[in-house]
Amino acid sequence: MSLQDVISRYGSSEVKKIFSEETRIEKMLNVEAALVRALAEFNEVPREAADIISKKARVEFVTPERIKELERKFKHDIVALVNALAEQCGEYGEYVHFGATSNDIIDTAWALQLKDSLKILGEKLIEVSQILCEYALKYKDLVMVGRTHGQHAIPITLGFKFAVYAAEVGRHIERLQEMLKRVLVGKIRGAVGTMASFGPKALEIERKVLEELRLKPAEITTQVVCRDRYAELISWIAITGSTFDKIAIEIRNLQR
């Protein structure tokens, strides 16, 4: 079974929508639109260009089908997206992606997708934690067999078992909340990350873009947002998933 098969079978509809191709394009267009509006505010591009590009930076105009068609020609996804948007903007198309590099758009859009999905995961974890706490109290006096190495040991209560689960899920929630400041970051810094392509107002331009998108700027980057941030996220997903795997296996074993 491929990863896509797993996602298709077990993924929730709301999270699958966040990571759909259409939403990915929508988020990248949101970044392009925010960028040109910031550039116009600092008089780096004409205001008319910002108005037209912002209006056309929508999936109804820049369709996935057109991007795929152009990608076959250019062999590059962002070049295809930029050209698909530019051709919708007439004479102002030359200001699309002005000063930016591909990963300004890709990584910042990725942060927007992660922000939406992690909000859902955080809410679900809190809901699970609340249920586990309720069960811990409800069954605090219900005695059951305690086990060590699968063998009967001294008694515990069912509430105690749920309390252990609740504490572990609580730590995952804490890790998530603490991690967000490192994971949900964007960048508008041009090729190699020096901001040279945006001139002396580069920091102000980036700040304006990311404020509009409600993201924090990375402290420093190369051409890409440093991938240790995503590695931490993947580690958190693995650790969190292992808790629910453990609970499921224990419930299965205790049915025997």
CATH 3.40.50.620 correct for 100-256: no
CB atoms within 10 A of CB 219: 8
User: Collapsing DSSP states into helix, strand and coil, what is residue 186?
Assistant: strand
Q: How far is CA 15 from the centre of its chain?
A: 10
Predicted confidence at residue 3, as pLDDT, reads: 62
Domain residue limits, the chain: 1-98, 100-256
Class of residue 34 by CB neighbours under 10 A (exposed 0-12, middle 13-18, buried 19+): buried
216: enclosing H helix or E strand: strand 216-217
pTM value is 0.92
| Intrachain domains 1-98 and 100-256 with the same fold | no
> Which pair of structure tokens corresponds to residue 11?
């993924």
**Residue numbers of the chain with a pLDDT score lower than 50:** none
19: enclosing H helix or E strand: none
Predicted confidence at residue 116, as pLDDT, reads: 97
CA–CA separation, 104 vs 28, rounded Å?
A: 9
CA–CA separation, 254 vs 150, rounded Å?
A: 9
CA–CA separation, 159 vs 67, rounded Å?
A: 55
**Residue position matching structure tokens 């993947």:** 234
The fold adopted by the segment(s) 1-98 is Fumarase C; Chain B, domain 1 (1.10.275)
